[in-house]
Amino acid sequence: TRTPVNVTVTGAAGQIGYALLFRIASGHLLGADVPVKLRLLEIPQGLKAAEGTAMELDDCAFPLLRGIDISDDPNVAFDGANVALLVGARPRTKGMERGDLLEANGGIFKPQGAAINAHAADDIKVLVVGNPANTNALIAQAAAPDVPRERFTAMTRLDHNRAISQLAQKTGVPVSEIRKLTIWGNHSATQYPDIFHAEVAGKNAAEAVSDEQWLADTFIPTVAKRGAAIIEARGASSAASAANAAIDHVHTWVNGTADGNWTSMGIPSDGSYGVPEGLISSFPVTTKDGTYEIVQGLEINDFSRTRIDASVKELEEEREAVRGLGLL
């Protein structure tokens, strides 16, 4: 019998939390043979709702769920954490400037990074979902100097999955026939979904589509603005699809990408593809045995270069802003 894996989820009482916890507990995060313990972090106002969710988790009698702890103290919630899903964040409210937003999130992700540094297990893997995800990941990473920096990642898997779905619909193939799609840059409206190296049923996707106008005017904006379209339609932001992407991100990180395919993750740049070192930016990556590598040697055409650079520039500006706030 395996020792349970400790999975810490912040913002556990939120809507993504509600869509996420049941899937973790039923084995979708780590595998059908891996027992888990859930450690839920909420702010004091969220504790009661988190307790309600924990009651429902109990009521599922999930065979793999070996315990649920709830706390409003990061030092408790990250104690022994093997996987941390940082979902809770401060949303942008009306009239809020970017600087205010980054500062408010610094107040969340800096102490959480410090708690991870002090208390998490040696093999801790961190996924930041809460926005602005890439820069929040950078803040948490900076507060955790003893944790290998590559363990801090940001979620662009939802964008990746959205892009696969749009491309599959355009080309009339099942999503399983789409491979090697890449999201580059920031999880924001500047992100760049790249189909130039992607495959549709084994053929180059850009050639299969052969419609640069669709690419520039439909595909890219549809993927980048999908979050807003969901809010418009549903009256609430993406929750189940975001939770699903978080599951996919960690599952792929732990269990590996398939041969002949890759995924997209926001990870600390090593300078590849001209992305300044240290920025947490989305790249094409392969994963194996719990580690990831950036796919190397892809030719970047001018169309892609302009868009990658624009998104990376935004990440640099965010990094400068949080530096200015003393968060790095």
Q: Annotated binding residues, as ranges?
A: 11-17, 92, 98, 105, 112, 129-131, 162
Question: To the nearest whole angstrom, how small is the minimum distance from the Cβ of residue 151 to ligand NAX?
Answer: 17
Q: Does 14 bind ligand NAX (CB under 6 A)?
A: yes
Selected from 68, 85, 129, 321, the binder of ligand NAX by CB under 6 A is: 129
Q: Does 36 bind ligand NAX (CB under 6 A)?
A: no
Part of the chain binding ligand NAX (CB under 6 A), chosen from 13-21, 61-69, 115-123, 315-323: 13-21
Q: Does 106 bind ligand NAX (CB under 6 A)?
A: no
What does the alpha-carbon distance between residue 162 and residue 128 come to, in Å, rounded to a whole number? 18
Annotated active-site residue 249? The verdict is no
Selected from 9, 24, 35, 46, the binder of ligand NAX by CB under 6 A is: 46
Q: Does 43 bind ligand NAX (CB under 6 A)?
A: yes
Please list the alpha-helical segments (H only) found in the chain: 15-25, 47-59, 74-77, 98-119, 133-142, 157-171, 205-209, 212-214, 220-224, 226-234, 240-255, 302-324
Selected from 29, 30, 42, 190, the binder of ligand NAX by CB under 6 A is: 42
Q: Does 89 bind ligand NAX (CB under 6 A)?
A: yes
Q: Does 185 bind ligand NAX (CB under 6 A)?
A: no
Tokens encoding 278:
């240290």
Query: 192-194 and 5-10 as β-strands: parallel, antiparallel, unpaired?
Result: unpaired
Active-site pick, 28, 160, 187, 249: 187
Query: Cα 190–142–106 angle (5° rounding)?
Result: 65
Tokens encoding 288:
């194996």
What does the alpha-carbon distance between residue 294 and residue 260 come to, in Å, rounded to a whole number? 14
Nearest to ligand NAX of 35, 193 (CB atom): 193
Question: To the nearest whole angstrom, how small is the minimum distance from the Cβ of residue 260 to ligand NAX?
Answer: 26
Q: Is 185 exposed, middle or buried (0-12, 13-18, 19+ CB in 10 A)?
A: buried
Q: Does 80 bind ligand NAX (CB under 6 A)?
A: no
Contact set for ligand NAX, span 212-251 (CB under 6 A): 227, 237-239, 242
Selected from 9, 38, 87, 223, the binder of ligand NAX by CB under 6 A is: 87
Going by C-alpha positions, the residue among 8, 67, 24, 22 that lies closest to residue 251 is: 24
Angle of helix 133-142 relative to helix 98-119, nearest 10 degrees, comes to: 40
Query: Cα 102–105–106 angle (5° rounding)?
Result: 80
- Residues marked as catalytic: 187
Which residues contribute to the site for ligand NAX (CB under 6 A)?
10-11, 13-17, 41-43, 46, 87-89, 91, 108, 129-131, 133, 155, 158, 187, 227, 237-239, 242
